[in-house]
Structure 1
Amino acid sequence: MTTEIPPSLKANLFIIGSMKCGTTILYDFLCRDHRIAGATGKEVHYFSLYKEKGEEWYSSHFTPDTQTKYLLDASPTYLDMAENFEIPNAIKNYAPEAKIIIMIRDPIDRAISQLNHFQKVNQRDDLKGLNISDIFQILDEDLPVDDKTATAARYIRDFSFYASKIQRYIETFGTENVFVIHNEDLRAHGDQVLSSLYEFLDLSALDDEHYSEKRYVTGTHEVKVPVSLKTGLYAKYGQDYYSSCRHPGVQRPTSSDSALHLNQPVGAIVNEVGIGSDGFLFLVGGGNSPLDMLIMDNTQRSNIVKRWVDQTKIRQATLSELGIKYIQCMIPEKISILGEKLGWGLDLNKSFGDCFGVHFPNAADSPVVDLFSFFRNSPYRDQLYFKTDSHWTHVGAFGAYQNICHKLEIPFCEDLLKSTSSSGPVTFDLGAKMPWTFQEEGRFFHFGEGAKITDEGELVAFKKKHGLENDGGLHVGSFLSFEQDHAPQPESVLIFGDSFSEYRDHLLTGLLAGTFSKVSFAWTTNIDYNLVQELKPDIVICAMTERFMTAAPSDNFDLKAFAHDRVRSYKRPQE
């Protein structure tokens, strides 16, 4: 005969996993609070493994006193085994007003930690000597369902998928009763996490305890994982990991420090976008993936760079014969400067631009402007690029402009930063790829407001006429010229570039237009020597983003003919 357990003796606070996500550390801390009584042995697993033992057996694990407000059960299996609503419903039926704390972790780190646990704690001989790559290879093999090695591999893989299980608890208990904590936040920002958690529990925070004490700041020994494998796994887990961290409406830690971002799915890849710390997103996929240059074979990278080195020397010689000053500026990808925010252990010195720059020491006769050292050492590193776009901000563009002026031995115009500007929330390309759209504050200057447009090429005129300025298929071939009568510098400039320069005046082209008497922009990675002969500029600047270095240009390009063909062949959507 079952005896009804008084409600005051029932567990009403649950830390439900996942395994190897820091549940023990959180349990130990909360149990130091006299208002919280933890279950004997921490993990009871009643609702997942031992339901048949009955509520009296379960209740025997708790010893509350008159000050107890919460009875705490910390059993990771309540999340790990929640493949349906059976476990959430069982807890709900037992304790309808229960508070649920869900611990999550970087899915790859968690999987590696569980494998280590199986090997070192459980002494699993069948897993001895295996690494995380072996585990996923096992899952690709056609092994029997009951094979114990394959079963362990499935646990290691599947326990790192959290989102659907979190959703089941949200649907069962409501968002107001579910609190999600990221293991990394608990270790790095324990005080802030605990402050938010105590608000969730409607408890005053302990005055004499600090979660940042050394005994609570622990982590698993880092295991080296090849970057190619790591990025592949992040792509596999990315959508789930992102959803687990950013589920709308769920309770999560907050911080009074606006610069501190908690519950970040750092490292996840979603829709070809890598998620970094501090709210930064990175382009890591697509036809010209910046990530590829950092993980490709060294020989392949060397061959690509060599073609550019050879082409640059040819350009320098050709333009020198024409009496034209030549500047080659490789524009760093955001991942080349801030890639450590992804947490993948990338060797950023393997970027195309870095390897290219090695061939051109910073000598007076070198045409190359080195932005890489300047950007990496800048006190404004986090302001050089938009967080949710692959492009640089006006800060990054101005840094490049400063370096170009230095190379040309002319003063830069600091007053350009006083130009008319507009700002507001913007949804950039990378933010738009996320399941929940990101916006950030964008500020755009009209650096060329002191100059007038004297020539719009056929393609630019066509785009303006039909409102197609942002049509990516109509960028290459764009041409536009600015002139001003009382420019600080009398020289004329022809810049061959891409979207980091732009034909509009809010980036590098605009900064140059505010400095020189005449600036013409041509959207191409090639040098059009016919255009050079026609315009006869004093200076030619080639400013190109690293991702486009995979194919060295032939410089056999007719920009006007290309633009004419694009206009003639373009079919607008309504047609």
Structure 2
Amino acid sequence: MRVDGLRRAVRSSRAYGKAVLPLPLGRLPEFLIVGGQRCGTTSLYRYLAAHPSVRPATGKELQFFSLHHGRGERWYRAHFPVRPPGIRSFEASPYYLFDPGAAARAAAMLPGSRFVALIRDPAERAYSHYLHSVAYGVESLPFAEALDAEPARLAAGGHDARRRYSYVARGKYAGQLTRWFDAAGRDRVLVLRTEELTARYAEVLAFLGLEPRPVPAERHTRRAAGAPPLDERLRERLDAEFADDRREVDRLLAEH
């Protein structure tokens, strides 16, 4: 088991232990970072976790509203600190944006919470996702062949395939954003382009009801060391694939 997986298993076991005991549990979170994957969610998570009025969940990617909703509200609340009024908490699970059921579940359980989504150039996101899957040992195909194999892999179903091999599908943001807008209401969902994160950080804090703070200087990401840039022919292929969705995303964001 990779270190990340072991850490999550330990965290989950501790939450189960707290949930079954008559101990005080934290309030449900005041906000979530809902995705997307490889779009800067780790940076934003760490920026917000360092804010003096925020105490984050026990770790990133609880995946409650996607993979683990069957474990119940007490299990979820056991991941959040008991905190006084004025101190907020949150978690960040990038799969929430893509998972078809996460928006409705989150909106129903968290009727007063707010949600932040990050979106990135979809061709760059797809390639970054591919490199991430290679680094984790779950992808052995060259990128072009992985793109060709994606439809069949996703058609086979299952969360593992949807999380690992959705290189193109996750970059088609229009339907994903619409699902969150419909479930939670447009005024409770803030959408940022990855390259705007620094410039719009003050807007993020205001949206979440947090006092202004300087923009953190550091960025946080897991990069594939020594990876070549995205091949230009594949970029052209991906740009053509995403063209209609880009226009729809532009329209959705212009409406607000």
> TM-score scaled to structure 1, two decimals?
0.37
Aligned partner of 1:48 among 59, 62, 66 = 66
Partner SS, residue 216 of structure 1:
coil
2:186 alignment counterpart: 175
Whether the aligned pair in 2 keeps the contact of 1:138 and 1:153 (CA below 8 Å) is no
- What per-residue deviation string (whole Å, max 9, x for no partner) do you get for residues 287-318 of structure 1? xxxxxxxxxxxxxxxxxxxxxxxxxxxxxxxx
Q: Secondary structure at the match of 1:202?
A: coil
- In 2, the alpha carbon distance for the partners of 1:150 and 1:9 equals 33
**3-state SS in 1 of match to 2:190:** strand
In the alignment, which of 84, 87, 90 is matched to residue 102 of structure 2?
A: 87
Q: Distance in 1 between matches of 2:161 and 2:20?
A: 40
Distance (whole Å) between structure 1 residues aligned to residue 158 and residue 105 of structure 2: 30
Please list the CA deviations of residues 335-371 of structure 1 after superposition, one character each: whole Å capped at 9, or x if unmatched: xxxxxxxxxxxxxxxxxxxxxxxxxxxxxxxxxxxxx
Provide the C-alpha distance between the structure 2 equivalents of 1:69 and 1:194, rounded to a whole number of angstroms: 19
Q: Aligned to 2:120, which of 105, 111, 126?
A: 105
Structure 2 CA distance, aligned partners of 1:237 and 1:113?
16
Determine which of 227, 231, 234 is the counterpart of 1:229. Answer: 234
Matched position secondary structure for 1:155: coil
Q: Which structure has the larger Rg over C-alpha atoms?
A: 1
Structure 1 residues 147 and 78, CA gap change in structure 2 (3 angstroms): closer
1:163-312 alignment runs, 5 A limit: 163-186=174-197, 190=198, 192-206=199-213, 209-211=214-216, 213=217, 215-216=218-219, 220=223, 223-248=228-253
Deviation (angstroms), 1:146: 6.1
Evaluate the alpha carbon distance shift between residue 31 and residue 148 of structure 1 in structure 2; reply closer, same or farther with a 3 A threshold: closer
Q: Would you say the 8 A contact 2:30–2:88 is kept in 1?
A: yes
Residue 59, structure 1, aligned to residue 111, structure 2: no
TM-fit CA distance, 1:13: 0.2
The answer (yes or no) to whether the contact 1:176–1:250 under 8 Å persists in 2 is no
Distance in 2, matches of 1:219 and 1:241, equals: 26
> For residues 405-554 of structure 1, what are the structure 2 equivalents within 5 Å?
none
Using a 3 Å threshold, how does the CA distance of structure 1 residues 247 and 219 change in structure 2: closer, same or farther? farther
1:204 deviates by: 2.3
Aligned residue pairs total: 236
The answer (yes or no) to whether the contact 1:163–1:240 under 8 Å persists in 2 is: yes
Query: Which ranges of structure 2 fall in alignment gaps of 5 or more residues?
Result: 1-18
| Greater share of residues in strand | 1
Contact preservation (8 Å) 1:111, 1:132: no
* Contact in 2 for aligned 1:11/1:72 (Cα 8 Å): yes
**Alpha-carbon separation, structure 2, partners of 1:90 and 1:164:** 17
1:155 aligns with 2:162: no
Which residue identity lines up with residue 84 of structure 2 in the other structure?
A: T
State the 1:219 CA deviation.
8.3
| Deviation at residue 114 of structure 1 after TM alignment | 1.3
What SS does the corresponding residue of 2:89 show, helix, strand or coil?
Answer: strand
How far 1:42 sits from its partner (Å)?
A: 1.5
Aligned equivalents of 1:166 and 1:143: distance in 2? 20
Q: Residues of 1 paired with 2:37 and 2:221: CA distance?
A: 16
State the 1:60 CA deviation: 0.8
Distance 1:32 1:144 in 2: 40
Show the counterpart of 1:115.
Answer: 130
Which residue pairs with 1:9 in the alignment?
27
Cα distance between partner residues in 1 of 2:20 and 2:153? 46
Kept after mapping to 2: 8 A contact 1:13/1:99: yes
Amino acid at match of 1:233: L
What code does the residue aligned with 1:13 have?
Answer: F
SS in 1 for 2:116: strand
Shift of 1:31: 0.9
SS of the aligned residue for 1:232 comes to helix
Select the residue among 30, 40, 53 that pairs with 1:35. 53
Separation in 2 of the partners of 1:171 and 1:7?
Answer: 30
RMSD: 3.4
- Residue-by-residue CA offset, 1:498-530 (whole Å, 9 max, x unaligned): xxxxxxxxxxxxxxxxxxxxxxxxxxxxxxxxx
C-alpha distance in 2 between matches for 1:65 and 1:142? 43
Aligned-partner Cα distance in 2 for 1:95–1:142 = 33
The structure, 1 or 2, with the larger RCO (C-alpha pairs under 8 Å, 6+ apart) is 2
More helix by share: 2
Q: Structure 2 CA distance, aligned partners of 1:149 and 1:90?
A: 20
Listed one character per residue, the Cα deviations across residues 51-76 of structure 1 (whole Å, up to 9, x for unaligned) are: 11111110011114225443212111
Q: Which amino acid aligns with 1:91?
A: A
> Could you tell me how far 1:45 is from its partner in structure 2?
0.6
TM-score by length of 2: 0.79
1:166, distance to aligned residue in structure 2 (A):
0.5
Amino acid at match of 2:192: I
- Structure 1 regions of 5+ residues with no counterpart? 252-575
Could you tell me whether the CA contact under 8 Å between 2:57 and 2:91 is conserved in 1?
yes
